[in-house]
A and B are shown apart, each in its own frame.
Chain A
Amino acid sequence: MHCYVCFESIHSKTTWGHLFQLFNRKICLRCEKHFEKLQAEHACLKCMKPIEYHDGQMCDDCLAWKKRLNEDPLERNVSIFKYNDFLKDVMSKFKYRGDYEMVYVFEKDLQKAYVENFQNMPLTITPIPLSKERYEERGFNQAEAIAKQLNKPIVNLLTRTHTEKQAKRTKRERVFSENPFQVLEVKEGMNILLIDDFYTTGTTLRQAALELKSKGADKVYALTLIRS
Chain B
Amino acid sequence: MNVDDYLTELSPLFSGRLLLKREIRLDEQLFQTLLQNNLFKEIRSIKKYIGFYECQRCFNQSSHYFGRLPDRTVYCKKCIMMGRVSEKEPLYEWCGPDAILDKVSQACEWNGVLSPLQKHASLKIVEAIQNRSQILIHAVCGSGKTEMLYEGIAHAIEAGKKVCIATPRTDVVRELAPRFRRDFPNIKSCALYMNSTEKDVNAHLVIATTHQLLRYKDAFDVTVIDEVDAFPFHNDPTLKKAVKRATKKDGSTIYLTATPRLDMKLKKSFQLIPAVSIPLRFHGHPLPVPKFHYIHQLEKQLKEEKIPADITDWFKNRKRRYLIFVPTIEMAEQVSVMLDHTPFVHAESPDRAELIQQFRNKKMNRLITTTILERGVTFPSIDVAIIQADHHVFDEAALIQIAGRAGRSHADPNGDVVFFYETKTRAMVSAKKEIVLKNEEGKKWKEETGEVEKI
Which residues of A pack against B, CB within 8 Å? 2, 7, 93, 97-101, 137, 139-140, 144-145, 148
Q: Determine how close the nearest CB of chain A comes to the CB of B119; give it in whole angstroms.
A: 46
Known: A100-B70, A100-B75. A139 touches B86 (CB 8 A): yes
B443 interface residue (CB < 8 Å to A): no
User: Which residues of chain A have C-beta atoms less than 8 A from B83's C-beta?
Assistant: 97
Give the interface residue-count category, chain B: 10 to 19
Q: Which residue of A lies closest to B86 (CB)?
A: A139
Cross-chain contact A99 with B73 (CB below 8 angstroms): no
Given contacts A98-B84, A139-B69, 6 further A-B contacts (CB under 8 A): A2-B64, A97-B83, A98-B75, A99-B80, A99-B84, A145-B70
User: Which residues of chain A have C-beta atoms less than 8 A from B78's C-beta?
Assistant: 7
User: Which residues of chain A have C-beta atoms less than 8 A from B89's C-beta?
Assistant: 139
User: Which residues of chain A have C-beta atoms less than 8 A from B75's C-beta?
Assistant: 98-100
The docked-state distance in angstroms from the alpha carbon of A7 to that of B232 is 15
Which 8 pairs show the lowest CB-CB distances between chains A and B? A101-B67, A2-B64, A98-B84, A97-B80, A100-B69, A140-B70, A99-B80, A139-B69
Cross-chain contact A100 with B67 (CB below 8 angstroms): yes
Cross-chain contact B69 with A140 (CB below 8 angstroms): yes
Mark out the residues of chain B between 39 and 87 whose CB falls within 8 Å of any chain A CB in the assembled complex. Answer: 64-65, 67-71, 73, 75, 77-78, 80-81, 83-84, 86
Known: A139-B73, A139-B86. A100 touches B68 (CB 8 A): yes
The docked-state distance in angstroms from the alpha carbon of A98 to that of B77 is 9
> Given A7, A97, A101, which contacts B68 in the complex, CB threshold below 8 Å?
A101
Give 1 or 0 for each of B403-441: 1 = CB within 8 Å of chain A CB: 000000000000000000000000000000000000000
Q: Which residue of A lies closest to B22 (CB)?
A: A137
User: Which residues of chain B have C-beta atoms less than 8 A from A144's C-beta?
Assistant: 70
Cross-chain contact B64 with A97 (CB below 8 angstroms): no
Cross-chain contact B80 with A7 (CB below 8 angstroms): no
Known: A139-B73, A139-B86. A99 touches B65 (CB 8 A): no
Q: Which residue of A lies closest to B88 (CB)?
A: A139
User: Which residues of chain A have C-beta atoms less than 8 A from B70's C-beta?
Assistant: 100, 140, 144-145, 148
The docked-state distance in angstroms from the alpha carbon of A2 to that of B78 is 13
The docked-state distance in angstroms from the alpha carbon of A125 to that of B73 is 26
User: Which residues of chain A have C-beta atoms less than 8 A from B64's C-beta?
Assistant: 2, 7
Q: Determine how close the nearest CB of chain A comes to the CB of B367; give it in whole angstroms.
A: 24
Cross-chain contact B77 with A99 (CB below 8 angstroms): yes
Known: A99-B84, A100-B68, A139-B86. A7 touches B73 (CB 8 A): no
Cross-chain contact B69 with A7 (CB below 8 angstroms): no
The docked-state distance in angstroms from the alpha carbon of A98 to that of B86 is 10
Q: Which residue of B lies closest to A93 (CB)?
A: B80
Q: Determine how close the nearest CB of chain B comes to the CB of A226; give it in whole angstroms.
A: 20
User: Which residues of chain B have C-beta atoms less than 8 A from A137's C-beta?
Assistant: 22
The docked-state distance in angstroms from the alpha carbon of A2 to that of B77 is 12
Q: Determine how close the nearest CB of chain A comes to the CB of B26; give it in whole angstroms.
A: 16
Q: Determine how close the nearest CB of chain B comes to the CB of A191; give it in whole angstroms.
A: 27
Q: Determine how close the nearest CB of chain A comes to the CB of B281; give it in whole angstroms.
A: 39
Q: Which residue of A lies closest to B81 (CB)?
A: A97
The docked-state distance in angstroms from the alpha carbon of A155 to that of B450 is 86
User: Which residues of chain B have C-beta atoms less than 8 A from A98's C-beta?
Assistant: 75, 80, 84
User: Which residues of chain B have C-beta atoms less than 8 A from A97's C-beta?
Assistant: 80-81, 83-84
Mark out the residues of chain B between 79 and 103 whose CB falls within 8 Å of any chain A CB in the assembled complex. Answer: 80-81, 83-84, 86, 88-89
The docked-state distance in angstroms from the alpha carbon of A62 to that of B184 is 60
The docked-state distance in angstroms from the alpha carbon of A144 to that of B70 is 10
> Which of A2, A7, A100, A144 is most buried by chain B, counting CB atoms within 10 A of its CB?
A100
The docked-state distance in angstroms from the alpha carbon of A137 to that of B68 is 16
Q: Which residue of B lies closest to A140 (CB)?
A: B70
Q: Which residue of A lies closest to B63 (CB)?
A: A2
Q: Determine how close the nearest CB of chain A comes to the CB of B363; give it in whole angstroms.
A: 26
The docked-state distance in angstroms from the alpha carbon of A101 to that of B75 is 10
> Given B65, B71, B81, which contacts A7 in the complex, CB threshold below 8 Å?
B65
The docked-state distance in angstroms from the alpha carbon of A145 to that of B192 is 34
The docked-state distance in angstroms from the alpha carbon of A97 to that of B77 is 9
User: Which residues of chain A have C-beta atoms less than 8 A from B67's C-beta?
Assistant: 99-101
User: Which residues of chain A have C-beta atoms less than 8 A from B80's C-beta?
Assistant: 93, 97-99
User: Which residues of chain A have C-beta atoms less than 8 A from B73's C-beta?
Assistant: 139
Q: Determine how close the nearest CB of chain B comes to the CB of A105; give it in whole angstroms.
A: 12
Mark out the residues of chain B between 140 and 159 whose CB falls within 8 Å of any chain A CB in the assembled complex. Answer: none
The docked-state distance in angstroms from the alpha carbon of A140 to that of B70 is 7
Give 1 or 0 for each of B333-344: 1 = CB within 8 Å of chain A CB: 000000000000
The docked-state distance in angstroms from the alpha carbon of A145 to that of B89 is 20
The docked-state distance in angstroms from the alpha carbon of A2 to that of B64 is 7
11 A-B pairs with CB atoms under 8 Å apart are A2-B64, A7-B65, A97-B80, A97-B84, A99-B67, A139-B69, A139-B71, A139-B84, A139-B88, A140-B69, A144-B70
Give 1 or 0 for each of B243-269: 1 = CB within 8 Å of chain A CB: 000000000000000000000000000
Q: Determine how close the nearest CB of chain B comes to the CB of A11; give it in whole angstroms.
A: 14
Q: Determine how close the nearest CB of chain B comes to the CB of A104; give it in whole angstroms.
A: 9
User: Which residues of chain A have C-beta atoms less than 8 A from B22's C-beta?
Assistant: 137
The docked-state distance in angstroms from the alpha carbon of A7 to that of B78 is 9
> Which of B70, B73, B78 is most buried by chain A, counting CB atoms within 10 A of its CB?
B70
User: Which residues of chain B have C-beta atoms less than 8 A from A2's C-beta?
Assistant: 64
The docked-state distance in angstroms from the alpha carbon of A98 to that of B70 is 12
Mark out the residues of chain B between 270 and 315 whose CB falls within 8 Å of any chain A CB in the assembled complex. Answer: none
The docked-state distance in angstroms from the alpha carbon of A145 to that of B67 is 14
Q: Which residue of B lies closest to A92 (CB)?
A: B81
